Structure 1
Amino acid sequence: MEKNSSCCFSNLSSNLPITCLITFITIFLRRVLNVIYRTGKPLGKRVSPQRPLSTLIVLGSGGHTAEMINLLLVLRKERFTPRFYIAAATDNMSLQKARVLENSLADSSETRGLSAEFMQIYRSREVGQSYVTSVWTTLVAMAHALWLMIKIRPQVVLCNGPGTCIPLCVIAFFIKVIGIRRSSIFYVESIARVKRLSLSGLLLYKLRIADQFFVQWPQLQRKYPRAHYVGCLM
């Protein structure tokens, strides 16, 4: 009898880690599905329509920053504040343009006293970098993105295609899954993308990471029906 009891206890002990693992995976997957289901929903009833929202703005080299600046010009500055601008560590020009924008708003009565911060993030992969070495740089970029997101804890993430937005958006999605903070991710595809999405846009669209996905050409909206056509913003 004692031998049988000992065997049963041993079996239970050996199955306990597997049971805990299955339970954890089940809870995690349910949480992921719940976050995906809520994608596109408003921030919530607790957020007042007049309450400022901390906003993370991802800038990129080339035309990405120019498009983002044009978008920010029509944004309600008093609503989306404080603003945190992030660009790649090797991209100083984008942050300079953002500083010029914020300086031009400094004398405005509606934005006086509102804050803006400027930060840089490591790139996952530089242009021409081999895929082998990019594994390490991607891990470093993800760790840096995690640190920045925990530090900023934005309520809104605004991006339009640079590769630097991917680790930030993934971390924002993961933070929503574990329930630390809900960040609404707004992605505006570049006007240069007429027939198909950029790699960044395709990843965020297919993985359902972006809460709201906007395109500037009607044929893109027909090809990707969950996207919203907003016309040309430039």
Structure 2
Amino acid sequence: MGKTTPDRDRLKILFVASTGGHLTQLLALRDWWATQERAWVSFDHPHAHAALADEQVTWAFSPTTRNIPNAIRNLFLARRVLRRYRPDIVVSTGAGVAVPFFWTARALGIRTLYIEVIDRISTRTMTGRMVYPTVDAFAVQWPEQQALYPDSRVIGATL
């Protein structure tokens, strides 16, 4: 999915997730991302500090749910981070902090992968609805979720 050259075999990934279950689901993919070049965007919270202690992290503005000032701050943050880090792909499980990063990545021509959360089987998340039209790839964890996102791919549970 990413650009590879003889000099660089690894993907350069930017993970974006709020703390709690969203971050935990990305951490569960460690077997996939451990050998990749990566950076993270999350909230300045004890869970994130503990989980990402040895990682390159940018702290986003929180809360994001229905908070217009923080959404705008995170949009500017997304521009700065994406232009500075220049990832091959942005990966997220949500929540609201993913939206400005995905929209900005799209504008900059950076590929995106969204993984719908494991615990929303019969309804779509707000973040899923907002990024679905713009993503390069949309993954779900249950076959039932595919009815909600017709162009998605079932990858199975990440926990």
Note whether the superposition's TM-score is higher than 0.5.
yes
Aligned residues: 158
- Give the aligned partner of residue 49 of structure 2: 95
- Give the aligned partner of residue 51 of structure 1: 9
**What residue identity is the alignment partner of 1:200?**
T
Matched residue SS, 1:192: coil
- Give the aligned partner of residue 156 of structure 2: 231
How far did 1:124 drift?
Answer: 6.4
- Find 1:143's aligned residue among 53, 68, 76: 76
Distance of 2:26 and 2:136 partners within structure 1: 18
- Give the aligned partner of residue 155 of structure 1: 88
Contact 1:60 1:91 in 2 (8 A): no
- Give the aligned partner of residue 121 of structure 1: 60
Classify 1:169/1:92 alpha carbon distance in 2 versus 1 (closer, same or farther; 3 Å). farther
- Give the aligned partner of residue 84 of structure 1: 39
- Find 1:221's aligned residue among 132, 136, 146: 146
Matched, 1:74 2:31: yes
Contact 1:186 1:213 in 2 (8 A): yes
Matched, 1:194 2:121: yes
Provide Cα deviations, 1:143-177, integer angstroms capped at 9, x if missing partner: 1221111111111111102211111111111111x
**What residue identity is the alignment partner of 1:51?**
D
Contact 2:20 2:47 in 1 (8 A): no
Contact 1:85 1:95 in 2 (8 A): no
Structure (1 or 2) with the larger CA radius of gyration: 1
Distance of 1:153 and 1:92 partners within structure 2: 27
TM-score (norm 1): 0.61
Uncovered stretches (5+) of structure 2, i.e. residues with no partner: none
Provide Cα deviations, 1:206-233, integer angstroms capped at 9, x if missing partner: x2x2111111111111332101011222
**What residue identity is the alignment partner of 2:123?**
R
Contact 2:79 2:104 in 1 (8 A): yes
Q: Which has the higher helix share?
A: 1
TM-score (norm 2): 0.87
Uncovered stretches (5+) of structure 1, i.e. residues with no partner: 1-41, 103-115, 177-182
Matched residue SS, 1:157: strand
Matched residue SS, 1:51: coil
Q: Which runs of 4+ in 1 moved over 4 A?
A: none
Contact 1:56 1:86 in 2 (8 A): yes
Distance of 1:54 and 1:158 partners within structure 2: 11
